[in-house]
Structure 1
Amino acid sequence: MTVPDILVEHDGPVLTVTFNRPAQRNAMTWAMYDGLYSACERADADDEVRVLVLRGAGEDAFVAGTDITQFADFTSGADGVAYEERISRVLNRLEDVDVPTVAAIRGYCVGGGLAIAAVCDLRLATPDARFGIPVARTLGNCLSMPTYALLVHHLGPARALDLLLNARLYSGQEAHGAGFVAECTEDLDEALRQTVDRLLGHAPLTMWATKEAIRRLRRSTAAAVDGDDIVARVYGSEDFRAAVRAFNAKQPRTWTGR
């Protein structure tokens, strides 16, 4: 029997989404992004659901970005713009979920995985978790303007630049020190249990109001800024196409700036 790449399990007031490609470090396929969107719809449609939990299968990763094999068919900057818009649609839907959302993170939380975690309300992580978007040394692509705004919102301009320009990976402890992770612990399952129990005991409308107000404040700062020209230039570059080919062939890459 084929095991789904994304599992959605309902246990009383808790809906849990598990990214389930451990052999690929839970790298996201288009179908997994669609499955996450559907899970958000399900959380809001069911009055019994009070908390939405996201986690990765296995010990190695929460989500190690988007599956890079899916970029092989990109031929122009328009493909990159469409991709970033598709991802932003899913991220916005996750951020819009009415109930508290909690990301339980061990291992790699990079690229699209970092963006998914960033739009959750709370992030719990193990000390050896790894956070980053190292595209400056891997694919040579870029982020959408909403995702840049998301990183600056959580980390500030200086840390966002450090993370992206240096292609750094923060440990769970560093991410906790930066305020991105709410709790850093060796016992992730126990921390998740305690957090969920705490949220289930709080006033739902108060938590919704808090989420909604902070979401509106964050989005208002980036709503008028268009970055499609940036995305189109980078995704339409020979550097990006060559990097995708090199990555999939497990070969070194050379940057030209074109």
Structure 2
Amino acid sequence: MAFNNILTNTQGGITTITINRPNKLNALNKETIQELHDAFDAANNDKNSKVIIITGSGEKAFVAGADISEFANFDVENGGKLAAKGQELLFDFVENLSTPVIAAVNGFALGGGLELAMSCHFRIASDNAKMGLPEVSLGVIPGYGGTQRLPQLVGKGRAMEMVMTAGMIDANTAKEYGLVNHVTSQEELLPLAEKIASKILRNSSVAIGKAIKAVNANYKDGKNGFEVEIKQFGKCFGTADFKEGTAAFLEKRKANFPGA
């Protein structure tokens, strides 16, 4: 699959997707959002891909925001459609993938860039990373899930302050807030992401997919997370991974999960 704005590589069970628009600080335009959807979809359906890492090219930015020139002249109807389509195509799509997604945030993650990182299952950051939702400085609000996911991750008060001030926080503050799990140097960012991914690879991909569904249910309106957990827990007992995992434990050996 050929792309204009992203690079993909799958090796050792890990697919790395790199947003490759360094001259635009990896800003998200419509074409890039579509390409990201296609790349995530392909990786999620690839049996050789068990973990996805998303990052940005260059040393300055993960994603510095959306491409404002594409929607500067939109009206109310088009603005609503922009947010709805983007959420469906990329942000909600990534959050609900059964394959775990790690955001390796290198440099600026602003606006749609932070929203993309927050849609991933968890985040790590380089020590030069800066994160924020500056939309109110442009007369709009975050439209790709930022007003919902940021409070879930950092709490209502901190989220309100970040949105209202349109300010940026540094990587260490982001870690203090719980927005990112780890902070490291830019040189060690991808190696750390790969190290964490390798730990994930040891476990049942089927069980991980069901765990993602159960955890996400806690944040969905009309969903009872406990009920979803019970259902997904029960489903695990019908999988080959469960049979292999329990047999390996009882036989005191390392499990070789078939992924089914």
Q: TM (normalized to structure 2)? A: 0.80
Report SS of the residue matched to 2:208.
Answer: helix
- Residue aligning to 2:13: 13
Higher relative contact order (CA 8 A, sep 6+): 1
Letter in 2 for 1:56: G
1:118 Cα offset (Å): 0.3
Whether 1:148 aligns to 2:147 is yes
- Residue aligning to 1:120: 120
Q: For residues 201-231 of structure 1, what are the alpha-carbon distances to aligned partners after superposition, in whole Å with 9 as ceiling and x for unaligned?
A: 1222332222111212112279xxxxxxxxx
Report SS of the residue matched to 1:136.
Answer: helix
Mapping 1:216-255, distance limit 5 Å: 216-220=217-221
1:53 Cα offset (Å): 0.8
Distance 1:79 1:26 in 2: 23
Distance 1:17 1:98 in 2: 16
1:62 Cα offset (Å): 0.3
Q: Alignment length, in residue pairs?
A: 219
Contact preservation (8 Å) 2:111, 2:142: no
- Residue aligning to 1:94: 94
Letter in 1 for 2:146: T
Letter in 1 for 2:163: L
Contact preservation (8 Å) 1:53, 1:101: yes
Distance 2:87 2:203 in 1: 30
Taking only aligned residues, the RMSD between alpha carbons, in angstroms, comes to: 1.9
- Gapped runs of 5+ residues in structure 2? 224-260
Letter in 1 for 2:180: V
Mapping 1:1-258, distance limit 5 Å: 4-74=4-74, 76-89=75-88, 90-137=90-137, 139-144=138-143, 146-186=145-185, 187-220=188-221
1:148 Cα offset (Å): 1.4
Contact preservation (8 Å) 2:25, 2:61: yes
Distance 1:179 1:25 in 2: 25
Q: TM (normalized to structure 1)? A: 0.80
Distance 1:178 1:143 in 2: 19
Distance 2:219 2:190 in 1: 30
Distance 1:208 1:117 in 2: 19
Contact preservation (8 Å) 1:27, 1:66: yes
Letter in 2 for 1:194: K
Contact preservation (8 Å) 1:43, 1:97: no
Q: 1:24 to 1:221 in 2, by over 3 A?
A: farther
Distance 2:48 2:191 in 1: 23
Mean Cα displacement is larger for which, 141-150 or 38-47? 141-150
Letter in 2 for 1:117: A
1:3 Cα offset (Å): 8.0
* Percent identity of equivalent pairs: 27
1:145 Cα offset (Å): 8.4
